[in-house]
């Protein structure tokens, strides 16, 4: 197992490569999902407000 | 935005100024295409059985070839892990008065082939080791 | 056929379709990357010349290939947007840009981490590395241009022109290693007869397709976000279940708790 982590002496280059790659891939997914949630919430709030205004005007 | 465009232009101009080819070949040097006293990069293959090391320091001398012409390179410093005879290398430095290339940096240019050691061993035995399509001054190879 | 194509010009259809597709693409991505990572790290043999360090290929090459592929997606979408005035194509291009920039960044960083032990340097201004760095600046320039121009229509058009002009860099990246002398080695897999042993190529294929599906997944999520932003006032958006759900919860709370916050201020401004 130690041999595996040592990567033939290139551990200092191999592991950071894989680490940063999967960090960036994960961040891609996280930011996209998060932004989608935020925009959904904002859009919902805005449409709720326009609906409330319409109702107020109607009554 | 402006910074981005500025940087891109800077890099573009820098590359074209330094010549888009990264290194010159031994044939270029033999043909006198490099001005005396300029620092430049040379690229080629380390000739088999040409590496001379000193036991007491890091001084090393070897011949560099593009399979047409050969230039001797001297260097004192740390070599990349891949450095070996038959290996492609790119060195930075300048010519001395004897026509020897005095390098201040030696980089390895590995080829595009990937295989397990057993396969490499078998191919070597069969004399079928794949070469590289790398541009090692290919133009000079075709010229007489 | 034409009708079927026409539906892809319709925002509600694309929004729903990509919503249904995304989980499958995401699932496939997770499976592909999982298998690729396992095969690449545990099963693939060591390299005869580079030893274990060559395993960086399993993250470097997929990132590099995808950095160019995403750019082509962005440029083609931009062209479709300019020629047929298709707003959705602009949304695709906009959604692709940050993903492409992140792949380019990864290709440069993992390449640097590979170059140091093998070549002996982190960086060199050769044709391949320089043109790939230029690609990163093209992505960043595209995003900066969109952000800098206030009027969305002109921002979209200017950015699309930049994306199309930048396409010249793609063949330069690919052929740089053949046209000029570079430190970077020539192509290994993107040629008729790949010069990589099959046992090492299989994990690489899994990783490349894993990256492709990750791009697909993130693109779909970002595209849906972009559609919501562009169509915020449309009635079909107000009737979406995810919007209705918020509406059902929101009104009472909205009028008291939320309206004094900065959210409502920005909306009026």
Q: Domains in chain B, please, with CATH?
A: 21-131 (2.40.50.140)
Lowest mean pLDDT among B6-20, B36-50, B115-129, C237-251: B6-20
CB-based contact B108 C120, cutoff 8 Å: yes
Probe site for chain C from B19, B27, B82, B114 (most C CB atoms < 10 A): B114
CB-based contact C242 A40, cutoff 8 Å: yes
Q: What is the mean pLDDT of residues B76-101?
A: 89
Q: Tell me whether 0.95 is exceeded by the ipTM.
A: no
Lowest mean pLDDT among A53-57, B132-136, C164-168, C229-233: B132-136
Given a contact cutoff of 8 angstroms between Cβ atoms, the answer to whether B88 and B66 are in contact is no
C49 vs B82, B106, B134: nearest CB: B82
C143 inside 8 A of chain B by CB: no
Residue B71: half-sphere exposure toward Cβ, Cα within 13 Å: 29
CA–CA distance from C63 to each of A42, B135, C44, C201 (Å)?
33, 24, 19, 15
Query: Which pLDDT score is estimated for C256?
Result: 44
The answer, yes or no, to whether residue C222 has pLDDT greater than 70, is yes
Beta bridge partners, B88, equal B45, B109
Given a contact cutoff of 8 angstroms between Cβ atoms, the answer to whether C53 and A8 are in contact is yes
CA–CA distance from C36 to each of A4, B115, C58, C216 (Å)?
17, 18, 8, 17
Which of 1.10.1760, 1.20.1740, 1.25.40, 1.20.120 is the CATH number of C18-44+52-187+202-231? 1.20.120
Given a contact cutoff of 8 angstroms between Cβ atoms, the answer to whether C75 and A36 are in contact is no
d(CA C184, CA A42): 48
Given a contact cutoff of 8 angstroms between Cβ atoms, the answer to whether C53 and C199 are in contact is no
CA–CA distance from A51 to each of A54, A55, C179, C255 (Å)?
5, 6, 62, 12
Q: Enumerate the domain spans of chain C.
A: 18-44+52-187+202-231
Q: Considering chain A, what percentage of its residues have pLDDT values greater than 90?
A: 63
Calculate the CA dihedral of residues C115, C119, C120, C125 and round it to 10 degrees: -70
């Amino acid at each position: 197992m130690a041999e595996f982590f040592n990567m033939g002496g290139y551990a200092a280059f191999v592991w950071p490569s894989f680490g940063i790659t999967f960090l960036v891939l994960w961040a891609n997914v996280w930011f996209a999902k998060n932004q989608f949630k935020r925009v959904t919430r904002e859009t919902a709030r805005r449409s709720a407000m326009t609906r409330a205004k319409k109702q107020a005007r109607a009554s | 935005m402006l910074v981005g465009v500025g940087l891109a232009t800077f890099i573009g101009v820098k590359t074209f100024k330094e010549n888009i080819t990264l290194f010159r070949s031994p044939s270029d040097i033999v043909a006198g295409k490099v001005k005396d006293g300029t620092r430049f990069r040379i690229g080629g293959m380390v000739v088999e059985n040409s590496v001379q090391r000193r036991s007491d320091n890091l001084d090393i001398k070897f011949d560099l070839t593009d399979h047409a012409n050969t230039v001797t390179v001297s260097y004192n410093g740390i070599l990349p892990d891949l450095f070996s005879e038959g290996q492609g290398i790119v060195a930075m430095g300048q010519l001395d008065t004897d026509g020897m290339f005095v390098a201040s940096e030696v980089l390895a240019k590995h080829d595009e082939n990937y295989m397990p050691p057993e396969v490499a061993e078998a191919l070597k035995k069969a004399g079928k080791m794949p070469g590289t399509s790398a541009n090692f001054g290919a133009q000079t190879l075709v010229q007489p | 056929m034409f009708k079927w194509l026409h539906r892809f010009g319709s925002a509600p259809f694309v929004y729903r379709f990509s919503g249904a597709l995304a989980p499958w693409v995401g699932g496939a991505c997770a499976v592909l990357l999982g298998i690729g990572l396992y095969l690449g790290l545990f099963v693939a043999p060591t390299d005869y010349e580079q030893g274990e360090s060559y395993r960086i290929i399993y993250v470097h090459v997929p990132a590099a290939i995808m950095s160019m592929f995403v750019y082509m997606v962005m440029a083609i979408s931009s062209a479709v947007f300019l020629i047929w005035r298709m707003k959705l194509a602009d949304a695709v291009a906009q959604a692709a840009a940050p993903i492409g920039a992140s792949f380019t960044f990864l290709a440069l960083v993992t390449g640097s981490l590979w170059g140091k032990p093998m070549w002996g340097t982190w960086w060199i201004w050769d044709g391949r590395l320089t043109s790939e760095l230029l690609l990163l600046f093209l992505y960043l320039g595209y995003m900066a241009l969109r952000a800098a121009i206030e009027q969305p229509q002109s921002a979209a058009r200017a950015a699309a022109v930049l994306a199309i002009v930048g396409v010249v860099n793609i063949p330069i990246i690919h052929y740089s290693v053949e046209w000029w002398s570079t430190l970077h080695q020539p192509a290994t897999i993107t040629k008729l007869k790949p010069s990589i042993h099959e046992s090492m190529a299989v994990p690489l294929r899994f990783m490349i397709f894993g990256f492709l599906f990750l791009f697909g997944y993130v693109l779909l999520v970002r595209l849906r976000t972009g559609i919501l932003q562009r169509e915020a006032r449309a009635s079909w958006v107000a009737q979406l279940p995810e919007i209705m759900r918020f509406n059902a919860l929101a009104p009472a709370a909205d009028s008291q708790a939320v309206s004094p916050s900065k959210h409502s201020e920005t909306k009026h401004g």
